[in-house]
C-alpha cells in the first residue's frame, strides 16, 4: 500500500504541474488577447477620427462654396447700386448686401470651427498612431513569448502525459478510482495529503489518535474524517 500511495502522490504531482503549465499558457495567451483588443480598439478609433476629419472637410468645402456664391451676388448687387435712382430701392439693396456680408462672416466662423475640429482630430489621430505603434511592438514581443513558451510547455506536457501513463499502469484500478473520486469532490487543494504529527495537511485538523496509529501501518487507504481526503503518514 505504501507503493500505491507513493504512486498516487506522484500522479497528483504530475497533475498539479500539468494544470500549472496549462494555467501559465492560458495567462500568457490572455495577455496577448488584451493587447490585441487594445490594438483593435485603437484601429477603430483612428478610423472614426478619419471619418470625422472627412466630414469636417466636406462641411468646410460646402461653406466655401456658399461664400463664393454670396460673393457673386454681392458683386452683382453692388453693380446694380450704380444704376438705381430710387432711394427706397437703393436702401433695400444696400440692406441686402449687408445681409449677405453678415452671412458670409458667420460662415467664415463656421469654416474656422471646421479647421479647428480637423486640427484636433489630427492631433488625436497622431497620438493614437503613436500608441498603436507601441501596442504593435508589444504584440510582436508577446507573440514571440507565447510561441516560445507554448513550445516549451507542449514538450513538458507530453513528458508529463508519458509519466502519468506510466504511473496509471502501476496503480491499482480501485485506488485510482478512489483518487479520481476524491479529486472530483475537492473544490481546492489536493486529493492525497500527508498527515504529520496527527495533523491532516489538507484541512489542518487533528485526526483521532486511534486512526493516527493505524495510519502508521500503511496497510490500506484511509480518509481524513474531517475533509475526506486520502491521507498517508509522513514521518517527521
Minimum CB separation of residue 20 from Zn ion in Å reads: 23
How far apart (Å, rounded) are the C-alpha atoms in residues 194 and 224?
10
Phi, psi of 169 (to 5 degrees): -70, -30
Sign of CA dihedral 116, 121, 126, 127: positive
The smaller minimum CB distance to Zn ion, of residues 31 and 226, is found at 226
Q: Considering the complex, what minimum distance in angstroms separates the CB of residue 198 from Zn ion?
A: 11
Residue 90 or residue 204: which is nearer to Zn ion going by CB? Answer: 204
Specify the long-range contacts of residues 62-68, CB closer than 8 Å, at least 24 apart: 63/107, 63/108, 63/110, 63/111, 63/114, 64/111, 66/107, 67/104, 67/107, 67/108, 67/111
Among residues 74 and 200, whose Cβ is nearest to Zn ion? 200
- Our CB check for Zn ion shows the closer of 35 and 193 to be 193
- In the complex, what is the shortest distance from the CB of residue 171 to Zn ion, in angstroms, rounded to a whole number? 22
Least Å from the CB of residue 42 to Zn ion: 52
Least CB distance to Zn ion at residue 5 (A): 15
Residues that bind Zn ion (CB under 5 A): 200, 202-203, 224, 226-227
Which grid coordinates are listed for 121? 482630430
C-alpha cell, 44: 477603430
Q: In what order do the strands lie in the sheet with 192-196?
A: 199-200, 192-196, 230-233, 222-223
Nearer to Zn ion, 42 or 191 (CB): 191
Q: State the minimum distance, in angstroms, from the CB of residue 228 to Zn ion.
A: 7
Compare residues 136 and 226 and give the one whose CB is closer to Zn ion: 226
Amino acid at each position: 500500500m505504501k507503493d500505491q500511495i507513493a504512486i498516487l502522490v506522484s500522479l497528483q504531482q504530475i497533475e498539479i504541474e500539468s494544470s500549472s503549465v496549462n494555467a501559465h499558457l492560458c495567462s500568457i495567451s490572455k495577455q496577448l488577447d488584451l493587447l490585441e483588443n487594445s490594438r483593435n480598439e485603437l484601429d477603430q478609433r483612428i478610423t472614426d477620427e478619419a471619418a470625422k476629419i472627412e466630414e469636417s472637410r466636406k462641411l468646410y468645402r460646402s461653406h466655401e462654396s456658399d461664400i463664393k456664391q454670396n460673393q457673386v451676388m454681392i458683386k452683382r448687387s453692388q453693380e446694380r447700386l450704380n444704376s438705381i435712382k430710387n432711394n427706397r430701392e437703393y436702401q433695400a439693396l444696400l440692406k441686402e448686401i449687408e445681409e449677405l456680408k453678415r452671412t458670409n462672416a458667420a460662415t467664415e466662423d463656421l469654416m474656422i470651427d471646421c479647421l479647428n475640429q480637423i486640427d484636433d482630430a489630427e492631433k488625436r489621430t497622431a497620438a493614437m498612431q503613436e500608441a498603436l505603434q507601441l501596442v504593435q511592438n508589444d504584440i510582436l514581443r508577446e507573440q514571440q513569448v507565447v510561441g516560445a513558451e507554448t513550445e516549451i510547455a507542449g514538450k513538458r506536457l507530453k513528458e508529463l502525459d508519458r509519466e502519468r501513463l506510466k504511473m496509471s499502469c502501476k496503480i491499482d484500478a480501485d485506488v485510482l478510482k478512489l483518487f479520481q473520486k476524491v479529486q472530483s469532490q475537492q473544490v481546492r487543494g489536493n486529493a492525497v495529503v500527508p498527515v504529520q504529527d496527527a495533523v491532516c495537511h489538507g484541512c489542518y485538523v487533528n485526526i483521532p489518535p486511534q486512526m493516527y496509529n493505524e495510519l502508521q501501518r500503511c496497510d490500506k487507504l484511509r480518509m481524513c474524517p474531517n475533509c475526506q481526503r486520502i491521507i498517508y503518514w509522513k514521518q517527521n
